[in-house]
Amino acid sequence: MAKFDLFQFVPFRLNRLAAEVSAALSDEYQVRYGLDIPEWRVIATLGFRDDACSAQFISQCTRTHKSTISRAVTALLERELIERVENEDDRRAFELRLSAKGHTLYEELIPRLLHKERDILSCLTAQERKDFAAALGKIERSLDLVQTRHGQKAGAY
Amino acid sequence: MAKFDLFQFVPFRLNRLAAEVSAALSDEYQVRYGLDIPEWRVIATLGFRDDACSAQFISQCTRTHKSTISRAVTALLERELIERVENEDDRRAFELRLSAKGHTLYEELIPRLLHKERDILSCLTAQERKDFAAALGKIERSLDLVQTRHGQKAGAY
DNA sequence: TTAAGATAGTCTCATTTGCAACCATCTAAA
DNA sequence: TTTAGATGGTTGCAAATGAGACTATCTTAA
């Protein structure tokens, strides 16, 4: 049998790297703004999209369990960082969007996070960064992790 | 402000990808062998190293909390997949190694996992895979995630 | 020696998380 | 219509996890 090297094993490396990178970022949103990871994901998704979206949508595109998103939404509503309005078309669902307060937080937080990301990737050349991102994209697509250009993941919502 | 795109944000993508890849692999070690992630990490580390090692060592190089490793070790001892002997030189620590049974499991499991890994990376060309692994390595080193060639992370153990 | 501090490992506790049951609502087909 | 099944969201519960206290042991230096 080919000798197995855990430290060359990509799934393991991805896990370890993701954990480490998350820890580096959490200084920004956790310590400074008191957001946990699910809460940050809700903020990030809402801030990214101009129009409102449902909890279900956030759950799907961040690959976070719906109960986790539900709890994050509750917490953010209490802190008045997001707003929730009934959906006319479907009264099971709610439309979520950032409040003014939430938008301010978002605008403050984003540059900090982008800066951290740049830091982390600064060990790569511009070309390497590009190739790395492209490789991530290929793997994501092959695992069906991404939406199509119509903003919908095939068959998912 | 430059528009922020969560789906282009590398930390987020790493998290999502790592979760998805882990889920794909867990079919192998979880469903088939009843191992959870920490248990698999212990097995993998012990199988990878020819000589015995301590729980502390496993904890450090897999970046898993020592209490989590401790629980995994207990469970694996109960299932007799690993063995634990006192360390002559340091009676706080134990030497851990795979049992014969554990080694059999390891030998069975590894090819399956390598196959899954190949599947996941099969969307990349050979060159892209090489570059991707190299980029991971660079980031890991810049985050101080890797051991030196002497098997020790600088200053860590 | 002895004492102070570091380290290996275990255990308890609080937090986080996923699962699954549940309710309300929607959709589709009879 | 009515009914069966799907879907959005919430909640209770149990499992997993990390933090940190704790014991035992080791190391270093006075």
Taking only the tens place, the pLDDT of each residue in B29-50 is 898 999 999 999 999 999 988 7
Min Cα separation B77/chain A (Å): 21
Handedness of CA A49, A54, A59, A60 (dihedral sign): negative
Q: Is residue B143 within 8 Å of A120, Cβ to Cβ?
A: yes
What pLDDT was estimated at residue B1?
59
* pLDDT of residue A117 exceeding 60: yes
What pLDDT was estimated at residue A87?
92
Residue B3 confidence class, pLDDT cut points 50, 70, 90 = confident
Report which of residues B69 and B49 the model is more confident about. Answer: B69
Query: Containing H/E element for A77?
Result: helix A66-78
Name the E strands within B104-148: none
For the residues B127-139, what does the mean pLDDT come to? 97
The per-residue pLDDT for range A60-116, each reduced to its tens digit, is 989 899 999 999 999 999 999 999 999 999 999 999 999 999 999 999 999 999 999
Q: Which residue in B98, B136, B147 has the most chain A C-beta atoms within 10 A of its own C-beta, making it the best mutation to test that interface?
A: B136
**Residue whose token pair is 């097995």:** B43
* pLDDT of residue B117 exceeding 80: yes
**Closest Cα partner for A130 from B4, B17, B135, B118?**
B135
Which residues are paired to B95 by β-bridges? Answer: B85
Protein residues bordering strand D (Cβ below 7 A): A 54-57, 59, 66-67, 70-71, 73-74, 90, 92-94, 157; B 36-38, 64-68, 71, 89-92
Q: Is residue B39 within 8 Å of B13, Cβ to Cβ?
A: no
Residue B153 confidence class, pLDDT cut points 50, 70, 90 = very low
Q: Is residue A111 within 8 Å of B1, Cβ to Cβ?
A: yes
Q: Which domains does chain A have, with CATH numbers?
A: 6-123 (1.10.10.10)
Question: Please, which residues 11-70 of chain A have a Cβ atom closer than 8 Å to chain B?
Answer: 11-22, 24-25, 41, 44-45, 47-48, 61-63
The per-residue pLDDT for range B76-109, each reduced to its tens digit, is 999 999 999 999 999 999 999 999 999 999 999 9
A45, amino acid identity: T
Of the ranges A2-16, A51-65, B141-155, which one carries the lowest mean pLDDT score?
B141-155
A22 contacts in chain B (CB < 8 Å): 11, 15
Residue B27 confidence class, pLDDT cut points 50, 70, 90 = confident
What pLDDT was estimated at residue A152?
35
Residue B23 confidence class, pLDDT cut points 50, 70, 90 = confident
Residue B22 confidence class, pLDDT cut points 50, 70, 90 = confident
